[in-house]
Amino acid sequence: MTSTLLLPLALAHALVVVAIALPPFPARRLLFSPPIAALHLRVLTAPHDLAPHAAFALGTATAIFLFLAATWILFDSPQLSVWHDDHPHPAAHRPFLARTLWAVRLFYSPRGISWNFRAHHAPRLPLALASRRSYLLHRLSQAIVSFFALDIAQSYMHGSPSSYFMNNNDSSLREHGRAWFWLNLVAFAATSYYTMKFYHVLLSLIMVGLNISDPVQWPDLFGPARDAYTVGRFWGRVWHQLFQKIFLTHASFIVRTLQIPRRSHLSRIVTIVTAFLISAAFHAGGGSYMLNHTFTVTARFFLAQAPAILSEELVIGIARTLWPSRAYPRGSGNNGIGSGVDRNYYDVSQTPSPLSSPSSSPPPSRSPSMSRRPPSRAGPPSLINRLIGYVWVISWFGICLPWIIEEETAAGQLCADVLPISLVRGVLLGKWLT
């Protein structure tokens, strides 16, 4: 069964790489898009015997790769508009083998680290970690911390047969009391966060340890949690920025098609809504195909983020009008509780046009990937403003995060461990293997 899923997915990825590597020609979209889409849909609809959590993960990943392929084939001409720091010139005139290797690096660099489309606010590597030795030691310590944090969360979720997350529970989280409600929320959030962080750190240790990549190409996956004092900042600065290129490219196409002025309020609204529509398609669409289960509530979670961010911006705008110089400092959109919408993150005017050319768009001078950010024009928000923001963000996710937890628990998504061993359960229960 596994071969019926992995073979078409591998063929689809190979076709995407070839499509990116070939010289631009008018029929590129028409020639490659149908077979690539058909292969991805084959994966989503093929019969399988995967466990629910594995099927959901594969379905989500397949949906993501389908949108990523569309980004580079349908809506962009990467050989003309994209370049890497190691070779800061468009790749159109390089040899085919060099372009093929370049295309592989491009397709598997969704955050654009060391590329000219680097995700806004993706973390940068501190100067103290510039050497390979210091980087590997730091990442090793992160791997250990992430493993134990994930092990604790998973032991709480799966340590007892009566746990809320076991046995396809279809009850409400709130039925178990306020303390258990928040404990279950924290356990789920910690599992989501540390699963991605742990495996990202492991991959960075392998790639940098084997001298395949430089440390600067593997900064942290997540931003600092202290930045999450608005919902917009949580999604635009703290959470991973793996899909920002996909969001902005698709939103830019919609804005151009509808002839909406760039840098306008309407273009920002369209971009925010597009981003979370695609997020809903990632997380609900792929899993729905693979499991024959409609994840409508999961989709609702992502769709709800757009009105939350826009409402947040409206309230902040009113507060700035009433108290222009006291509680809500203005700046570049990156400071204060007022930066509910990260204006750089949602600015489609920064998305390169697929019609750009090497002669008309020379590579701009770029700061290195390992650098200090320039100081912002506005001062940091006051402590009281940040505290208000943290309370708001926690309250918001306390409202909407149970939607995902309850639906995925009922579908059996959360019954399986994400680690093969458990030191916590081994010491406490004598159960070392999960």
The dihedrals phi and psi of 310, each to the nearest 5 degrees, come to -70, -40
The reported pLDDT for the residue numbered 46 is 82
Token code pair at residue 143: 């791997």
In a domain, residue 424? The reply is no
In a domain, residue 267? The reply is yes
Residue partners of 47: CB distance under 8 A and separation at least 6: 1, 4
In a domain, residue 200? The reply is no
pLDDT at 348 over 60: no
The kind and range of the H/E element at 276 are helix 265-280
Token code pair at residue 358: 């090497």
Q: How far apart are CA 17 and CA 207, in angstroms?
A: 21
Residue partners of 65: CB distance under 8 A and separation at least 6: 9, 12, 13, 16, 40
In a domain, residue 428? The reply is no
pLDDT at 341 over 60: no
The reported pLDDT for the residue numbered 51 is 81
* Residue labelled with tokens 């995967």: 50
Q: How far apart are CA 249 and CA 363, in angstroms?
A: 19
* Residue of 212, 281, 259, 220 lying closest to 68 (CA atoms): 281
Looking at the DSSP assignment, which residues form a beta bridge with residue 421?
433
- Give the count of domains, the chain: 1
What does the pLDDT average to over 140-168? 87
Looking at the DSSP assignment, which residues form a beta bridge with residue 87?
84
Which amino acid is residue 396, in one-letter code?
W
Of the listed ranges 72-76, 90-94, 314-318, 349-353, the least confidently predicted one is 349-353
Q: What is the pLDDT of residues 71-124, one digit of tens each?
A: 999 887 898 889 999 888 888 888 999 999 999 999 999 999 999 999 999 999
Q: What is the pLDDT of residues 11-58, one digit of tens each?
A: 999 999 999 999 888 888 999 999 999 999 888 888 888 888 888 888
Residue 294 belongs to what domain range?
2-123+222-357
Q: Return the number of other C-beta atoms located less than 10 Å from residue 177's C-beta.
A: 10
Q: How far apart are CA 280 and CA 292, in angstroms?
A: 16
In a domain, residue 130? The reply is no
The reported pLDDT for the residue numbered 355 is 40
Instruction: State the DSSP code for 84.
Output: B
In a domain, residue 337? The reply is yes
Q: How far apart are CA 163 and CA 169, in angstroms?
A: 9
In a domain, residue 109? The reply is yes
Q: What is the pLDDT of residues 249-299, one digit of tens each?
A: 999 999 999 999 988 999 999 999 999 999 999 988 777 776 666 778 889
Q: What is the pLDDT of residues 355-408, one digit of tens each?
A: 444 444 444 444 445 544 444 455 567 888 899 999 999 999 999 999 999 888
* Residue labelled with tokens 């059996």: 412
In a domain, residue 209? The reply is no
Q: How far apart are CA 194 and CA 202, in angstroms?
A: 12
The reported pLDDT for the residue numbered 324 is 73
pLDDT at 202 over 70: yes
* Residue of 197, 160, 165 lying closest to 184 (CA atoms): 165
